Chains A and B, each alone.
Chain A
Amino acid sequence: MDTETGAAPAPQRAAAPHPPPQAGDLIDGFRLERVLHEGGMATIWAVASEGCAAPVPLIMKVPRIGRGEDPEAIVGFEVEQMILPVLRGAHVPQFVARGDFSRQAYLVMERLPGESLRPRLDHAPLPADEVADLGARVAAALHDLHRQHLVHLDVKPSNIMFRPSGEVVLVDFGLSRHDHLPDLLDEEFRLPMGTGPYMSPEQLHYQRSDPRSDLFALGVMLYHLATGERPFGAPTTVRGLRRRLYTEPVPPRALHGDFPPWLQEVILRCLEVDPSRRYQSAAQLADDLRNPNQVALGERAGRTQRPGATRRVRRWLTSLGTELGTAPTLKQASDVVARNPIIVAAVDVDAAQPQLLEQLRETVRRVVHAEPGARLACVSVMRTARIGMDQLTDGAGRSVHVRQLVALKHWARPLAQALHLGEGRLTYHVLEAPEPAAAIVDFAQRSQADHIVMGARGNSTLRRYLGSVSAQVVAQASCSVTVVRAPQPE
């Protein structure tokens, strides 16, 4: 092989064109019944699972792949095939099966009842309370996805469905970005990816990992639902898309005199060109939409005129990353009193679920981060029998104590790095004791700890039989105790 000539041309792995599936076809045990929707990139079929009855009605999404089809459709479908199976909870359609491109590419998932939010757009403007309620439900769903490391990046009415309970379900993850999976769309296309009216400024700059992009899109949607107009039109060219970088949306109050100032405040905040000036989480946005009287009314709420040249220049400069305005900086370097608390992180490295260990670490990070002088003691309890000899080495002859210590250090390592905990600010302790709760309380007492942070046993059956260690610690400790639970998908 010639090693000097560089890369040989990559072998073509294009999807082989298949004849399009027909009603009645059987694909991997799924019988195609009828077409529910014919989209630009995919066809949606109602399917029945042959053999075993599916617990929910099913659809099959089949990408439109043929000669001359948009490669974006293929890559987008690969992305969705990759992402949908890892998502959990009520705010995504339940994944059932996927078929790869070597035979027939498809995705089978739960069929959601009813229509998307799209038809409601035709009835805009909708009453403010309906817009707020819809917005809060969409934001709650987005927050759940953001917590699952996902940015949707194509939030729009046609991608919003509902469960009978009213909960919002987001669909179509073909443009999404998951923190833990390769971004197949990265550098793949020369044009910004998204749906024109909803695309955030950072998406225009090819940034695909900011959850606040979804809040921008949601702001566009809420603006449209509430006013009947699109804040940035429906551009079809990159130049047209870029106009949102320097053109402020017309304040809803300039369109409808009776538009509630609080809702204008919320929506215009979502539409800020700089993500740091938007809501910083979907949960905060949902909170404001549910509690209109708690919304802090600022300058945005007061706008009643169409934006003038000054505002245009300001938005443009902000979009260039230039600091403008008088927004207070987040870190007030005012009277920070040096404090040196001791924080105990009690970690059940052997038995706790990974999600709980991660959540515990994050909580400890926040607690320690909040106190610049804090010292962190990581504690793990090795249970010993009350009476008699314990087997303190495992089958391979390694010390159980050392194993726990190794696991504890492994757990704490990201903390040490994130917090730059130097010498003496981080200690490790494996306690050998028959009663974990008593051991933790005793340790905290002895070390004059200010705060214990620990996980709660998630499984209620376990708790019933073994008792709750955290409840005992809470009851017996003489310092503050934070009990951490792993986040559960809703």
Chain B
Amino acid sequence: MKLALLTDLHANREAFEACHEAALAAGVDRFALLGDFVGYGADPAWVLDRVIELVRAGAVAVRGNHDDGVVHGPRPTMTDDAKRAVLWTREQLGAEQVAFLDALPYTASEGELLFVHANAFAPQDWEYVAGRSEAMRSLGATPARMTFCGHMHEPMLYNLSSAGKLVTFVPAPGIAIPVSPLRQWLAIPGSVGQPRDGNPAACWALFDTGECTLTFHRTPYDHDRAADKVLAAGLPAYLAQRLRDGH
């Protein structure tokens, strides 16, 4: 089975469409959506409707901190821009859409696979897997062989050997990486809707369960259009600029 991993869509319709199309072109059978469907971007309702459709068709979906913020109000730890976007987003959504967000689980497990937005050690606290120590902590907190998470917007791949040694790797796009079953892996596909590694192209990943390979992808999209829509919606200008810069 070819499983597409999409995370941190952030209400970016153009990026989501481009990744969805690229995933279907790559022969994907199923989608796993790792949270933060809304916040920052200008098309929360449209993106959410598509997410709901995918979930009805069998996609996995878990809750992100922005999704949670829309339901329960922004957390005090959020940046001002994020808070503004969360409050604006809430006004754009209907009751059914909010109810969908409210029903999202924090984690989903399927066999050896764990799907979670932020980390495996405290999924509800939204702590970032920002480096080696958090990656170790997350891998130590789950028996899952493969953990897929979002929250961090830069693509990253960690693995832990049976001897307890952690390997960190910044993946190159388009390369099928064999994931050895002797190791535990933690994969962060990077953000669909707001990449931050200096490359504005949308991030996603493909896990091929038959071949046991993981491929990170970069899909270019019309980020200028998405950024213009952010400005037109009256959202903070910085949120538009980072789509153009990829920072």
Contacts and interface: CB of A to CB of B under 8 A. Distances in A.
Interface of A: 1, 3, 6-15, 71, 74-75, 78, 81-82, 85-86, 100-102, 179-184, 186-188, 354, 396, 398, 402-403, 406-407, 409-410, 413, 417
B220 interface: yes
A25 B168 CA distance: 38
B161 A188 contact: yes
Contact of B157 (A3, A10, A182, A407): A182
B99 interface: no
Contacts of B178: 81-82, 85, 181
Interface stretch (B45-53, B56-64, B137-145): B137-145
A402 B220 CA distance: 12
A1 B174 contact: no
A184 B180 contact: yes
Of B17, B141, B166, B182, most buried by chain A (CB within 10 Å of CB) is B182
A402 B161 contact: no
A3 B161 contact: no
Interface string B125-138: 10000000000110
A410 B220 contact: yes
Contacts of B159: 182, 184
Interface in B91-112: none
Given A3-B122, A7-B139, A10-B140, A74 B182 contact: yes
B229 interface: no
Nearest to B163: A71
Contacts of A6: 137, 140
B233 interface: no
B177 interface: yes
B175 to A, nearest CB: 4
A183 B169 contact: yes
Nearest to B225: A402
Given A11-B143, A179-B172, A181-B175, A1 B121 contact: yes
Contacts, number: 103
A182 B220 contact: no
A75 B163 CA distance: 10
B184 A13 contact: yes
B21 to A, nearest CB: 8
28 contacts: A3-B122, A9-B140, A10-B164, A10-B184, A13-B161, A14-B162, A15-B162, A71-B162, A71-B163, A81-B180, A82-B177, A82-B180, A86-B175, A100-B180, A100-B212, A101-B180, A101-B181, A101-B182, A181-B177, A182-B157, A182-B169, A184-B161, A188-B161, A188-B167, A354-B174, A402-B225, A406-B222, A410-B220
B30 interface: no
Contacts of B176: 86
Q: What bracket does the count of chain B residues touching chain A fall in?
A: 35 or more
Interface of B: 17, 121-122, 125, 136-137, 139-141, 143, 145, 157, 159-167, 169, 171-172, 174-178, 180-184, 198-199, 201, 212, 220-222, 225
A402 B221 CA distance: 10
Given A7-B139, A13-B184, A413-B199, 19 more contacts: A8-B141, A9-B164, A11-B184, A13-B183, A15-B162, A15-B182, A82-B177, A85-B178, A86-B176, A100-B181, A182-B159, A182-B167, A187-B167, A188-B163, A396-B17, A402-B225, A406-B221, A409-B220, A410-B201
Nearest to B121: A3
A102 B181 contact: yes
A333 B164 CA distance: 50
A406 B201 CA distance: 10
Contact of A7 (B136, B163, B182): B136
A13 B162 contact: yes
Nearest to B157: A182
A181 B17 CA distance: 29
Contacts of A8: 140-141
Contacts of A183: 167, 169
The 10 A-B residue pairs whose C-beta atoms are closest, nearest first, are A7-B140, A410-B220, A182-B169, A3-B122, A180-B175, A8-B140, A180-B172, A13-B162, A82-B178, A7-B137
Nearest to A78: B180
B141 A7 contact: yes
Tell which of A12, A13, A183, A409 has the most Cβ of chain B within 10 Å: A13
Contacts of A86: 175-176
